[in-house]
Structures are given as C-alpha cells and as structure tokens.
A and B are shown apart, each in its own frame.
Chain A
Amino acid sequence: MSIRSETEAFDHQGPGERAVGLTARGAWNAFVMLLTREILRFGRIWVQTVLPPMIMTALYFVVFGHLIGPRIGVIDGVPYIQYLVPGLILMSVITQSYANSVSSFFGAKFARHVEELLVSPMPNWLIIIGYVAGGVARGLTVGGAVTLVALLFAELSVYSVLNLFGVALMTSTLFALLGLINGVYATHFDHISIVPTFVLMPLTYLGGVFYSINMLSEFWQQASLYNPVLYIINGFRYAMLGITDVPVWSTYGILAVGILAAYLYALRLFRKGIGLRG
C-alpha cells in the first residue's frame, strides 16, 4: 500500500506558485475541527462543566429567591426571584465562557498539544476564533441549562429576543477572549484561577446580579458605574424584563469595545508568540 495518500488535503504547491497555507475551504475545515474538539472536550466532562453551575443556580434560587426573596419583595416592579433570573443566567455565561478558554488553552499548553496548532498552517486569528467559539459554545450551553433550572423556580419572560441573544453572544465572546488571554499568560495551574476568583467574581457579584444600584447610596451608585459587568448584566436584564439601571446602548458599547480590544490584544500575543514560542 502506498504511504502517500490519495486523500491529500490540498495539492502541494511548487516553488514560484502562490504560497497559501490554507484555502478558504481549508480554513473553514480547520475551524470546524477545532470547535468540534472543544465541544467534545467540555461535553466529555459535563459533570465538571455543565452540572455544577446548574446546581449552584438552583441553590441561589432556593436561598435568595425562596427564603430571602419574599422579605425583599419587588424591585422595579418585578418580584425578587424573577429579578434574579437574568443576572444568574448571565453570571453562568460569563464564568463558563471564561473557564472554558482559560482551562482548555492552558491545558493544551501544559500538555504541549497546543503545538499541534502552532505547527499547523492555521493563522493566528483562526486559532483565536476557534478557541473563542469553543468558549461561546460552553457559555451558551450552560446558560441554556441554567435557564431550564430557572424555569423550575420562576416565571420567565423575554422582553426583546434580539437583545437577549445579542447580549448573551457578545458577553460570551468577550469573556471567552479574556479567558484565552489568561490562558496564554498562565504558566501554573494557580494562574488560571486567580482572575476568576479575585477579579471576575467580585465584579460579577457587585455588578447588579442580586440588586439594583438604585438601592445603593449615592457614592456606591457612582462607584458601581465603573464596573463594566454592571452594564452587561443590566443589558441582559433589559432583554428579559425590560428594566435596566443603565442605557442599553452602553451595554453594547462596552461589549463591542471590549471584544475588539481583547481580540487585538490576543492577536498581538499570538503574533509575538508570548507564552507560546521560545
């Protein structure tokens, strides 16, 4: 049997011919392969990736919604348990999108199989998009699962479907990108939990998941406006309940600028090979 296969990916180009690493079709195949690998990865370990946020959300609903919620009453005309739903869903989207990129990319670096990508003709932007798409897939999958859990405790409503998917998708993209950047810089397992624990969690908890900033003193209201997560959660709350503490355009503004900045930064890291190439 011939060792050279009849099923070659592309014809070998000779000297002087246009030197293309991957055709558009080849780039698409590479993207699909990377995304599929990412989905299979978190799917294989669903007990670690999908189940815990569902259980945690159920506990939030039991403790904050059922036990404490009736004492709080309504916020902006909405029962407290229902007010919690958008924030809890988006909190899962944020943490899971981030966690997928950072753990998958650092894991690939640690086990060195990131080299499979680095030696391949995949351009840097395609590797970034592939990992981000994987993070988005996990973020939205878990977001959907958490929504199902929420159905058991509260009445769900959707005020604007377009905004619902727009904010969820952009949020997931932004945090998947940030997770990837964290993964590029990380050199120890500790490094992949520092940002989620000391940056992401405080910003999320203080970003209006559990309360409206109108309940805070003037000083803390102003201080909260410096928290970008506040705008994102309120944008999602607007999409579900039609209420928000900040203008909706600011949600999209923060997300768009954040995605662009994070993408360009990630691209720079890959181009320079920081944390990737000697």
Chain B
Amino acid sequence: MSNATNKAVEIYELEKTYEGGTRALKGIELTIDEGDFFALLGPNGAGKSTTIGILCSLVNKSHGTVRVFGHDLDRDRAWVKSQIGVVPQEFNFNQFEPVEEVVINQGGFYGMTRKAAKKRAHELLKQLGLYEKREGMARALSGGMKRRLMIARALVHSPRMLILDEPTAGVDIELRRGMWDFLTQINRQGTTIILTTHYLEEAEALCRNIAIINEGRIVEHSSMRNLLAKLSQETFVLYAREPVESLPEMPVVGSRLVDEETIEVDLTRGQELTGVFDVLRGHGIVIERMKNKTNRLEELFLRLVQDDEAAKQESTEGRS
C-alpha cells in the first residue's frame, strides 16, 4: 500500500472502550491536512482527550485505524511518535528538575545528543521567554511559564505535528495572545497543529478547520468559515456618540436601546450593517464604535451539541 498522502492525520472507525465499560469513542472518522491549524472541540467527557491520547500513544485504542503522515500507528508506532510533539493539559514534567533539563531530557528521549538538545533547548527557551529561568527548578515557575516550558519541551525535536490540549487554560490574556502569536508562527513554518480548547474564541482566532465531538462521535467536521456561515443570527452592540431618545425603524430582525448610548441590533444572514448605519445617520445618530455581542462559535457549538442530543433522543424514542 502506498503511503503517498498530504494528510497529517487519518482516523477511521476509531473506538475506545475503557475498562469498566465506558465507551469514550464510538467510531470516529476524522482527517486533518498537513500544515493545518485544527481545532478539536467538545464538552467535558466528549472524547477529545481520548482521541489525542490515542494519537500520542498514551491510550490504547479498542478498534479502528489511525494513520499519521500516511504511516499506520500500529505498524510504525515509534516513527509516528517521532513526528509528534505533545503539550498536555496538566503539568507532566518533573518539577524537581532544572528548567533546561526538562527540555534537554526530552530531546534525548527523541534521540538527540545532549549537545544538540541543549542548543535547541536554549533556542526555544529564549523564544518563549524562559531563558533567564533555565537553571532554576521547574517547580518555581509560574503557571503560565510552566505552560510555555511544556511547549518548549514538545518542540525540542522539531516535530511535524504539535498537539496542544487546552494550552492556555488558566493563562492570563496577555500571555495567551503571546502564545497565539508563537503558535501561529510555528504553523506558518509548516508544523501541523491540533488544538483542543475551551476558549472558543481561541479556536476561532487560530484554526482553519474544526471538528466538534460529542459523546464519542464527531458531530461537525468542516472549515471554520463554513461553520461560522451556518450561524443564522448575530447580535451587534453599537455605541452612540450622543444620548439616543428613541430608536428608528431599522432593516433588522430586532433592535433595542440598552441604555441611552447603547443600541443592540440582531441581524440574520444577508442583512447588512450598512443599512443600519444609513438609517441611524438619517436620524442624526452617530455610532462611535461597535462590537459583536455573541461569541459566535460558542453559540454554534452549543446548538450543534444540543441538536446531536435531540437527534439521539428522537432515535431512542422511535425505537421504544
């Protein structure tokens, strides 16, 4: 069989049943292109971490096929491992080791000489702002620094694919933005990135393609653009320069005055904000700034998960 492919990940009929009978995955089908920045979303217990665990060889699958860069995980497991870098959700490094040793050791486990691993570790620690801390114990780092340390460790062997499980959980906004820039830069240089996150704005900002998993099944798998296009209604908040007494009729689904300087308008697909601005300007209302009120992806995510659960409910009722 030829291995010719430009797919980073191909997953077919993937199932996982844990000891005790919990079915975490119920036949997942998923493909991720090489070079993609891919989001895997789902509520807690949906099967995200199990899927990632199987990809990283931390979880044994019960059934199905997993291929990474065209190589079968069962047949070429060591090779597949050599192509992947992992940033888990929880800190999983030896807290009693010096910072640089955490990264150097990992390089060694991927076959690098100590000298090469040290050089690479220093490069990464500089890029991630940890170089000055390299000789201190890892446990002395702040939470955000520990997350960056795990990113450095995952990249020490220059993997073709980086898997991040909730990489910015508990990280402050400024640091999160810095990490986004760093990850975007790596992705532009060709590294395929798979991301799970609870911050849906993070997925929207970073990822080109997305899969939503619920109760062990993929309920949506498409590009971010196509997914967001499914959104039928959005709410915008407009801030007026002067107090507004009453709202004129506008070509929108709904509008309301939240306070004397804040207006909310609901638009469906096909409706344009320019029409709203024209009407407001015609009534002497000048809009100074605006923002999108809803987290669009969050809304979609909830709807898809709810639809999936409703479909299952119907199916169960139909059978009974």
Residues of A within 8 A of B84 (CB): 119
| Contact between chains at A120 and B158 (CB < 8 Å) | no
Q: Is A33 an interface residue (CB 8 A)?
A: yes
Residues of A within 8 A of B110 (CB): 9, 22, 26, 30, 120-121
CB distance from A116 to the nearest CB of B (A): 6
| Contact between chains at B108 and A115 (CB < 8 Å) | no
Apart from A7-B112, A36-B114, 11 more pairs, CB < 8 Å:
A9-B116, A15-B71, A19-B79, A21-B78, A21-B81, A21-B82, A29-B108, A115-B58, A116-B109, A273-B60, A277-B57
| Contact between chains at B189 and A120 (CB < 8 Å) | no
A25 to B117, CA, bound (A): 14
B interface residues with partner A (beta carbon < 8 Å): 2-5, 18, 50, 53, 56-60, 69-71, 75-84, 86, 88, 90-97, 101, 104-114, 116-117, 119-120, 123, 127, 153, 155, 157-158, 160, 185-186, 189-190
A interface residues with partner B (beta carbon < 8 Å): 1-5, 7-10, 12-13, 15-16, 19-23, 25-27, 29-30, 32-34, 36-37, 40, 44, 108, 111-113, 115-123, 273, 277-278
CB distance from A217 to the nearest CB of B (A): 49
A42 to B174, CA, bound (A): 39
| Contact between chains at A121 and B189 (CB < 8 Å) | no
A3-B189, A121-B110 as given contacts; A13 in contact with B105, CB under 8 Å: no
Task: Provide a sorted-by-A list of 20 A–B residue pairs whose CB atoms are within 8 angstroms.
Answer: A7-B116, A7-B120, A9-B107, A10-B82, A15-B3, A15-B70, A16-B4, A22-B82, A26-B110, A29-B111, A30-B110, A33-B105, A37-B97, A111-B93, A117-B109, A121-B79, A121-B110, A278-B50, A278-B58, A278-B59
A9 to B81, CA, bound (A): 13
Main secondary structure of the interface of A (DSSP, over half): loop
CB distance from B177 to the nearest CB of A (A): 18
| Contact between chains at A32 and B108 (CB < 8 Å) | yes
CB distance from B126 to the nearest CB of A (A): 8
A239 to B88, CA, bound (A): 51
A2 to B69, CA, bound (A): 23
| Contact between chains at B58 and A277 (CB < 8 Å) | yes
Residue of A nearest to B157 (CB): A9
Which of B57, B111, B112, B116 has the most CB atoms of chain A within a 10 A radius of its CB?
B111
| Contact between chains at A5 and B120 (CB < 8 Å) | yes
CB distance from B206 to the nearest CB of A (A): 16
Residues of A within 8 A of B96 (CB): 44
| Contact between chains at B86 and A119 (CB < 8 Å) | yes
| Contact between chains at B106 and A120 (CB < 8 Å) | yes
Residue of B nearest to A27 (CB): B111
| Contact between chains at A20 and B92 (CB < 8 Å) | no
Residues of B within 8 A of A26 (CB): 110-112
| Contact between chains at A116 and B158 (CB < 8 Å) | no
| Contact between chains at B160 and A22 (CB < 8 Å) | no
A5-B120, A20-B78 as given contacts; A278 in contact with B53, CB under 8 Å: yes
A115 to B49, CA, bound (A): 14
| Contact between chains at A119 and B58 (CB < 8 Å) | yes
| Contact between chains at B158 and A112 (CB < 8 Å) | no
